[in-house]
């Protein structure tokens, strides 16, 4: 449409949120919809966190601005948590509180990139990563992981995609959409390579608490400490504490970079809701049992979804190692239905599933890998079972 800037016209709506909105609208119109769409825990926020927010609501001190970069207590608590987890000591000035981790992603690239700078993005990737790079004037460079090895990225693949314009690498482990979790040696190799290549690493650690089985989260800051001068670490409370709607995320990194991002934040956002920041503080300082209980439920659902999905004709899916997503190949399903040609792409398959059996999935096209689709298992056990029943019926 005339009048829209080229910059904004170049991006598309978030596919994950679009699927979620569509599911909500169909439900509001009276249809029974099971959504494997947006990655959002079905649990309520734990009561001690809600109580901290309630108290903040009643305290006039929490009715006003905090410093734009965040509530000092919360910045200090995040720095302390990071020190305990990684051994890397941060000052509160090295912590910026953002409107969800999504804003930290946008601010990271806005802070680092000049026009023409390239960012290596392992594919499949979360829908927002390339758009945030584009909006910041950079060029996203997808680097396809090895499909036969859980879409893992290797130094060889990264090196082959590197040019003199490469400014940064984006890493997201545990990964959205694949659920892969990089092991310590893998991370070490990638981190050493980035160190020698002289590029920045933006590491999105929002799913750090959600790993399963023998898989463990490793922070790149702990594995390759020499890289921390050129590393921005992104995180938040949304996924671990069932706090998606509270919108509290953060960026950690070298003081000059975080300070520059905080300047940007002071003009384009201002502080995150004061009450939500107190809630996040309670989440970080409170008991870890609610988090462990939710993690155990995700693990149970992960195993159940994998067991059933892997048995469906035409579907291939490795067992996810972390986060709460299954990234399955539907290539064996496309155009091979028993009643003649079916959907030819996963985009069409997603539309058909929604239309015919009321099941929402996010097509792989949104994550840079057609032929696959992402299914979130962060929904209730009952809904999960019902959704898988419908899928099994559809796929025969
Ligand atoms: N990050 C979640 C997802 O990928 C929530 C939706 C979004 O912000 O994209 O489903």
Cβ 385 under 6 angstroms from ligand 1: no
Asked whether residue 55 is assigned to any structural domain, the reply reads no
Cα of 18 vs centre of ligand 1, distance in Å, is 10
242 and 339 assigned to the same domain: no
Asked whether residue 51 is assigned to any structural domain, the reply reads no
Asked whether residue 50 is assigned to any structural domain, the reply reads no
246 and 299 assigned to the same domain: no
259 and 321 assigned to the same domain: no
| Domain termination residue (choose one: 266, 285, 304) | 285
| Domain termination residue (choose one: 229, 260, 285) | 285
pLDDT of the residue at 335: 72
Cβ 39 under 6 angstroms from ligand 1: yes
144 and 224 assigned to the same domain: yes
Cα first-last separation, the chain: 43
Mutation to probe ligand 1, out of 100, 126, 246 (largest number of atoms < 8 A from CB): 126
Cβ 105 under 6 angstroms from ligand 1: no
Residue 121 pairs in a beta bridge with: 142
- How far apart are alpha carbons 127 and 326 in whole angstroms? 15
280 and 300 assigned to the same domain: no
33 and 76 assigned to the same domain: no
359 and 262 assigned to the same domain: no
- How far apart are alpha carbons 59 and 57 in whole angstroms? 6
Mutation to probe ligand 1, out of 11, 14, 16 (largest number of atoms < 8 A from CB): 16
151 and 245 assigned to the same domain: yes
37 and 71 assigned to the same domain: no
The helix or strand, by DSSP H or E, that contains position 383, with its residue range, turns out to be helix 381-395
Domain containing 323 equals 6-45+289-395
Q: Name residues whose C-beta falls within 8 Å of residue 72's C-beta, 6 or more positions apart in sequence.
A: 66, 92
Q: Name residues whose C-beta falls within 8 Å of residue 50's C-beta, 6 or more positions apart in sequence.
A: 44, 279
The helix or strand, by DSSP H or E, that contains position 263, with its residue range, turns out to be helix 255-268
| pTM, entire model | 0.95
Asked whether residue 77 is assigned to any structural domain, the reply reads yes
204 and 333 assigned to the same domain: no
Report residue 139 as tokens.
């060029």
Contact 365, 345 (CB under 8 A): yes
Total structural domains in the chain?
2
| Domain termination residue (choose one: 252, 268, 285) | 285
pLDDT of the residue at 338: 52
Task: Walk along the chain (396 residues) and give the pLDDT tens digit of each residue.
Answer: 789 998 899 888 898 898 889 999 999 999 999 999 989 999 999 999 999 999 999 999 899 999 999 999 999 999 999 999 888 999 999 999 999 999 999 999 999 999 999 999 999 999 999 999 999 999 999 999 999 999 999 999 999 999 999 999 999 999 999 999 999 999 999 999 999 999 999 999 999 999 999 999 999 999 999 999 999 999 999 999 999 999 999 999 999 999 999 999 999 999 999 999 999 999 999 999 999 999 999 999 999 999 999 999 999 999 999 999 999 999 999 976 555 567 999 999 999 999 999 999 999 999 999 999 999 999 999 999 999 999 999 998
Q: What is the CATH number of the domain that holds 35?
A: 3.90.1150.10
212 and 90 assigned to the same domain: yes
pLDDT of the residue at 379: 95
């Amino acid at each position: 449409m005339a009048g829209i800037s080229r910059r904004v016209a170049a991006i598309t709506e978030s596919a994950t949120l679009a699927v979620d909105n569509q599911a909500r609208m169909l439900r509001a119109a009276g249809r029974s919809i099971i959504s494997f769409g947006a990655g959002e825990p079905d649990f309520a926020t734990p009561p001690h966190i809600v109580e901290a927010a309630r108290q903040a609501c009643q305290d006039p001190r929490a009715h006003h601005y905090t410093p734009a970069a965040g509530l000092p207590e919360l910045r200090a608590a995040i720095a302390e948590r990071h020190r305990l987890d990684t051994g890397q000591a941060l000052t509160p000035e090295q912590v910026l509180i953002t409107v969800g981790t999504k804003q930290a992603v946008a601010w990271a690239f806005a802070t680092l990139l000049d026009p023409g700078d390239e960012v290596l993005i392992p594919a499949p990737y979360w829908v927002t990563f390339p758009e945030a790079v584009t909006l910041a004037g950079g060029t996203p460079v997808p680097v396809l992981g090895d499909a036969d090895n859980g879409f893992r990225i290797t130094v060889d693949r990264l090196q082959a995609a590197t040019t003199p314009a490469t400014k940064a690498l984006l890493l997201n482990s545990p990964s959205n959409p694949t659920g892969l979790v990089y092991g310590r040696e893998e991370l070490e190799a990638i981190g050493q390579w980035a160190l020698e290549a002289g590029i920045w690493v933006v590491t999105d650690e929002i799913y750090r608490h959600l790993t399963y089985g023998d898989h463990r989260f490793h922070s790149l800051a702990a594995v390759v400490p020499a890289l921390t001068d050129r590393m921005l670490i992104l995180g938040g409370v949304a996924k671990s504490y069932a706090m998606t709607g509270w919108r509290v995320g953060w960026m950690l990194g070298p003081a000059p970079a975080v300070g520059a991002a905080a300047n940007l934040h002071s003009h384009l956002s201002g502080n995150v809701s004061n009450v939500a920041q107190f809630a996040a503080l309670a989440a970080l300082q409170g008991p870890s049992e609610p988090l462990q209980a939710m993690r155990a439920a995700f693990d149970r659902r992960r195993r159940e979804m994998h067991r059933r999905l892997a048995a469906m004709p035409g579907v291939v899916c490795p067992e996810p190692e972390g986060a709460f997503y299954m990234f399955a190949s539907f290539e064996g399903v496309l155009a091979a239905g028993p009643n003649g040609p079916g959907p030819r792409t996963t985009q069409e398959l997603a539309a058909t599933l929604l239309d015919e059996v009321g099941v929402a999935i996010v097509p792989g096209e949104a994550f840079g890998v057609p032929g696959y689709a992402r299914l979130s298992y962060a929904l209730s056990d009952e809904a999960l079972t019902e959704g898988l029943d419908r899928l099994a019926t559809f796929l025969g």
